[in-house]
Structure 1
Amino acid sequence: MSETITLITFGSVALIMALVSGVFLGFSDFIMRSLRVSSPRAGIEAMQQINREVLSSAFVFSLIALAPVSLGVMAYAWFALGGPAQGWFIASGAVYVLGTFLVTLFGNVPMNRRLDALAVDGPETEAYWAHYAVTWTRWNHVRTAASALSAAALLVGCAVYA
């Protein structure tokens, strides 16, 4: 790839990572807090609906697509680039895959599936909701930071590369 194409491509990936981070930030900053202070039934029902609707969104497409794209960024940097930019690009991909994608896959998604399988007004649902709202949000903080750091590392790498 030419330098210009590399910078445009990696800059575009950084923008999408930053947008993903922004969605996570909204949840960490005020959405989950609002759902927690709602009645348990209202919070549970809203989160169940959000988790169902998000599956067909541009957000989930971006979140998932960025995992192989990040691996591609890492591979390209490893095999085709040298110098200080290489480390930034590799770090960006690694942080995204580990801190955003794998945390989503093994942290938040299983919790979402369990919540979805519970009846909105079941006795075990309210008890799970108390745990879910706190733990899910903690994992979401990790995803927020990881996707933001990934975007920042990619941008720093672009600046160094240019």
Structure 2
Amino acid sequence: MELSIDLLLWSAAIGCGLIAGIYFAFSTFIMAALGRIDEGGGIAAMNSINATILGSLFMTLFFGTTLASVALVILGLAAWGQPGSTVMLAGGLIHVIGMFASTLVFNVPLNKELTRAGEGAADVWARYLKKWTFWNHVRTVASTVACAGFIAALLARPPVF
């Protein structure tokens, strides 16, 4: 069982790290680059990115890491008081709430609004860039902190072998 928990922690840490890197790229230069082009081109590019990502391996990473995080929340509660359980629980909650829930509540509705707006909606594009990027910053930080929490949990746990 301990080996399974360690493997789950490693998987979640790596998944969170990969997700944080993708979000970091969007937060630090992709959205700024899209904001520099005309709104029609920016909207078309972002809509293309959003449509492409839904059929990509990113979705497996997105949902798989979220499921691992939920499992680690449960395991953190079940192992309460044992080394690493607090950061295991915290990492899982931070990822599920800060990354997954904020995506569903903020980023996805903004993406849908952008799709409906189509090209030529300068006011929608300006608002989208500001709000979507803010919530992407939240997702970046949450994924990074969750990754660190899972690594801390691994370091706190007694060696399996």
Which TM-score applies when normalising by structure 1?
A: 0.92
Per-residue deviation, residues 50-101 of structure 1 (Å, max 9, x unmatched): 0110101111221123222211111112114532411000000000011000
What residue in structure 1 maps to residue 8 of structure 2? 9
Equivalent in 130, 137, 154 of residue 134 of structure 1: 130
Amino acid in structure 2 at the alignment position of 1:11: W
Amino acid across the alignment from 2:147? A
Residue type at the aligned position of 1:130: A
Identity fraction in percent: 32
How many residues end up aligned between the 2 structures? 158
- Answering whether residue 78 of structure 2 is matched by residue 79 of structure 1, we say yes
Match of 2:146 in 1: 150
Equivalence map 1:1-162=2 (5 Å): 1=1, 3-80=2-79, 82-121=81-120, 125-162=121-158
SS of the residue corresponding to residue 8 of structure 2 reads helix
Q: Distance in 2 between matches of 1:96 and 1:68?
A: 10
Cα shift readout 1:9-66 (whole Å, capped 9, x = no counterpart): 2112100110011100010010000000111111111001001101011112211232
The two structures, once aligned, show a CA RMSD in angstroms of 1.3
Post-superposition offset of 1:130: 0.4
- Partners in 2 of 1:148 and 1:119 — Cα distance? 33
Runs ≥4 residues deviating over 6 A: none
Cα displacement (A) at 1:151: 0.6
Which deviates the most, 41-50 or 81-90? 81-90
Residue-by-residue CA offset, 1:107-130 (whole Å, 9 max, x unaligned): 000000110112213xxx211000
**Structure 2 segments unaligned to the other structure (5+ residues):** none
TM-score w.r.t. structure 2 length?
0.93
Give the secondary-structure state (helix, strand or coil) at the position aligned to 2:100: helix
